[in-house]
Amino acid sequence: MLGSQAMSARGGKAALALAVALGLISALLVYIVLRQAAGDSAGEGKVERVPVVVAAQAIEAGKRIAAEDVKTVMVPTEAVVPGVFPRVEDVVGKVARSSIAANEQITERKLVETNWEAKSRAAPLSVMIPVGKRAVAVEVEEATAVGGLVLPGDFVDVVGVFELKDPQGNKQFVSLLVAQNVQVLAVGQETPSEAAILPEDDQVGPGGGTPQPKAKTVTLALDPPQALAVSLADDMGKIHLALRPFSEKDKRAISPLPSNVPLPPELMAIISLAQ
């Protein structure tokens, strides 16, 4: 009887010890699970961010970007647009190809590289045209294009020579200045290899290149009135290009030669547009 009671007491103690052990194990498991859950939540709350250059203000198309136009912000990696820049210095000095809104991420596709010499590709002509200008090609030959020595990036005056007839039907020739201080965008299919062409007051230097004496066309950067005048002159007569010193940008009022020849309305219109 006593032995039976002793065995029962020992069994109860063993069951109690087992229950306590299981409780401790369960508590430990719960603690581990809660710690892991807390760690996962903390990991989910931590978002990786990277520096991205954005527009500090609205930037117009064709504007050369200055330091005050841009800023660097930290952007979540999943929100970063392909082709962005991580540093402001990677953007300053480039030209906006199209308008950029304030706080918009600036990408390579939005900018024009102004130093193409370091690139393995040539700049497209459309990005070289100064704002407000138009690219107009005129027919030339070696004699009318300064012996074929005109290069992309040079500045030229456009002279037109026209054949007229006096009241008696005799031939007369007259020359007049069609446009002054216009920039050469291309000779034949050759465009500047050293720098994109920018507005005259912001010119960084001659485009360089190799003379193309056999080129049949020269493409000029003209404002709309000049484009009208040069196109009409090219159809009515013969165009000659007069090369200007690179640093000389003055314009002069020059009368047609000879000055006593009556001019038809078309030539009078060219003169008015050229002024």
Whether residues 213 and 95 fall in one domain: no
**Is 26 domain-assigned?**
no
**Is 61 domain-assigned?**
yes
Share of the chain above pLDDT 70, in %: 70
The Cα–Cα gap between 215 and 211 comes to 9
> What CATH number has the domain bearing residue 74?
3.90.1210.10
Q: Give the model's confidence band at 260: pLDDT under 50 very low, under 70 low, under 90 confident, else very high.
A: confident
pLDDT tens for each residue of 62-86: 788 999 999 999 999 888 989 999 9
Inter-residue contact 68 to 43 (CB < 8 Å): no
Q: Which amino acid is at 122?
A: A
Whether residues 76 and 147 fall in one domain: no
Structural domain that includes position 221: 125-274
Instruction: For residue 228, give the DSSP letter.
Output: H
Whether residues 137 and 269 fall in one domain: yes
Q: Is the pLDDT of residue 116 over 70?
A: no
For residues 97-117, average pLDDT: 79
**Is 68 domain-assigned?**
yes
Whether residues 237 and 146 fall in one domain: yes
Inter-residue contact 220 to 145 (CB < 8 Å): no
Inter-residue contact 59 to 80 (CB < 8 Å): no
Q: Which of 112, 143, 165 is the last residue of a domain?
A: 112
- The H helix count followed by the E strand count for the chain is 3, 9
Whether residues 227 and 152 fall in one domain: yes
The Cα–Cα gap between 227 and 135 comes to 8
Question: For the chain, how are helix, strand and coil distributed in percent, rounded to 5?
Answer: 35, 25, 40
Average pLDDT, the chain: 77
**Is 164 domain-assigned?**
yes
Whether residues 85 and 150 fall in one domain: no
Which pLDDT score, from 0 to 100, does residue 5 have?
A: 47
| Lowest mean per-residue pLDDT among 58-72, 82-96, 112-126 | 112-126
**Is 117 domain-assigned?**
no
Whether residues 92 and 210 fall in one domain: no
Residues 6+ apart with CB under 8 A from 152: 184, 185, 186, 187, 190, 191, 192, 193, 197, 207, 208, 209
26 vs 252, which has greater pLDDT? 252
Q: Is the pLDDT of residue 149 over 70?
A: yes
Q: Give the model's confidence band at 251: pLDDT under 50 very low, under 70 low, under 90 confident, else very high.
A: confident
Whether residues 251 and 172 fall in one domain: yes
**H or E element: which one contains 232?**
helix 224-236
170 vs 43, which has greater pLDDT? 170
107 vs 198, which has greater pLDDT? 107
Whether residues 94 and 139 fall in one domain: no
Which pLDDT score, from 0 to 100, does residue 122 have?
A: 53
Q: For the chain, how many structural domains are there in total?
A: 2
pLDDT tens for each residue of 24-59: 665 565 556 556 655 555 555 578 999 999 999 999
Whether residues 89 and 143 fall in one domain: no
